[in-house]
Amino acid sequence: MNKIQKEIVKGLKETSKRLGRSLKRRDIPRLARKCYKYFGSFNKAKKKADLKMVNVRISDFSNRVFKIDKDMARIVSYLTFDGHLYKDLSGFFLSSKNIKDLENFEKLIKKKFGMRGRYYLNSGGGGKFKTHKFIIFNKKLCEELFKLGVSRGDKTTQKFNVPKWIFNSKDFSREYLKIAYFCEGSNKEEFGRTPRIQINIAKSEEILDSGLKFMNTLRIMLRKFGINTTKCYISNGRLRNRDSKKTKDIKFRIDIKDNNKFINQVGWFK
């Protein structure tokens, strides 16, 4: 073992001794991610530390699990807009202020992959309503999702676009757009005015062109259903506290005359 691996093993042993039992990933999420990075899996690191194995993770999936279908299009969209693949592909999560949203995502994951994850309540966010997370750690699953077009790491600073297998299918495009608007869409209804359906994403200033390309791809997908939109608008920008990166919001709206067409063709259920 190299120096970093020895430090990880030492940390596993010390924490296990302090807790008086074998460790689980939720006990040490940061150290667990290091186990994936430097050992390939959490249990391989535990084995090196001579710790008892519990809740051994699934690593051998049948080919049908990763079949491209509507459920897979929904999962990819969830992880693109309100989710996140860890940069080291050790796991993924979905975040929401509404636990019911996470429960619906969990049902989808269980149906598609036969897996259960864990809930981390009040995991972040300011104000009255806290953000909750549903997390699954499984490197094999994340590797396959990455191959299918889910970006990894901080999406605000990553270049990506809609996967071709979704873009080229009208049925898959509908499911992808439906979840996209569920996660990041809004339906602003000002007094005396027709509601305005809008969607926006944030991108760091240095890759703004990539964000515009992605949003224009969504506009093209909407036109498959005869739905017209405004052009993309860009905000003035803001600085993120954690890394001082300047980010800007990119947004567009559904043409008011096509509101009902959007609701009927794609769906609005927020």
Contacts of 172 (CB under 8 A, 6+ apart): 68, 70, 73, 165, 166
Average of pLDDT values for 51-56? 65
Hey, where are the domains in the chain? 3-48, 63-152, 166-265
According to CATH, the topology of domain 63-152 is Endonuclease I-creI (3.10.28)
Distance, C-alpha 56 to centroid of its chain: 24
Give the number of C-alpha atoms closer than 13 A to the C-alpha of residue 88, restricted to the C-beta side: 15
Where helices occur in 20-120 by DSSP H, the ranges are 29-39, 42-48, 70-81, 99-113
pLDDT at 130 over 80: no
Give the range with max mean pLDDT: 60-74, 102-116, 129-143, 192-206.
102-116
CB 41 within 8 A of CB 60: no
**Per-residue confidence (pLDDT) for residue 73, from 0 to 100:** 97
- 170-181 residue pLDDT tens: 999 999 999 999
Q: How confident is the model at residue 269 (pLDDT cuts 50, 70, 90)?
A: low
Which of 186, 194, 260, 189 lies closest to 228 in space, CA to CA? 260
pLDDT at 53 over 70: no
Distance CA 155, CA 203 (A): 8
- pTM above the 0.85 mark? no
**Per-residue confidence (pLDDT) for residue 60, from 0 to 100:** 65
Residue 199 dihedral angles phi and psi, to the nearest 5°: -140, 145
Q: Between 219 and 28, where is the model more confident?
A: 219
pLDDT at 244 over 80: no
pLDDT at 114 over 90: no
Average of pLDDT values for 150-156? 91
Q: How confident is the model at residue 142 (pLDDT cuts 50, 70, 90)?
A: very high
Average of pLDDT values for 53-76? 79
Give me the architecture of the 166-265 domain, per CATH.
Roll (3.10)
Residue 203 dihedral angles phi and psi, to the nearest 5°: -140, 145
Percent residues over pLDDT 70 in the chain: 91
Distance, C-alpha 112 to centroid of its chain: 16
Average of pLDDT values for 178-205? 86
CB 232 within 8 A of CB 251: yes
Query: Residues 157, 215, 221, 270: is their CA dihedral positive or negative?
Result: positive
Q: How many residues are there in the chain?
A: 270
Q: Which of 44-53, 78-87, 100-109 has the lowest mean pLDDT?
A: 44-53
Percent residues over pLDDT 90 in the chain: 57
Tokens of 237: 């920008």
**Per-residue confidence (pLDDT) for residue 111, from 0 to 100:** 92
pLDDT at 165 over 90: yes
> 166-265: same fold as 63-152?
yes
- 11-50 residue pLDDT tens: 999 988 888 887 887 788 888 888 888 888 788 888 888 8
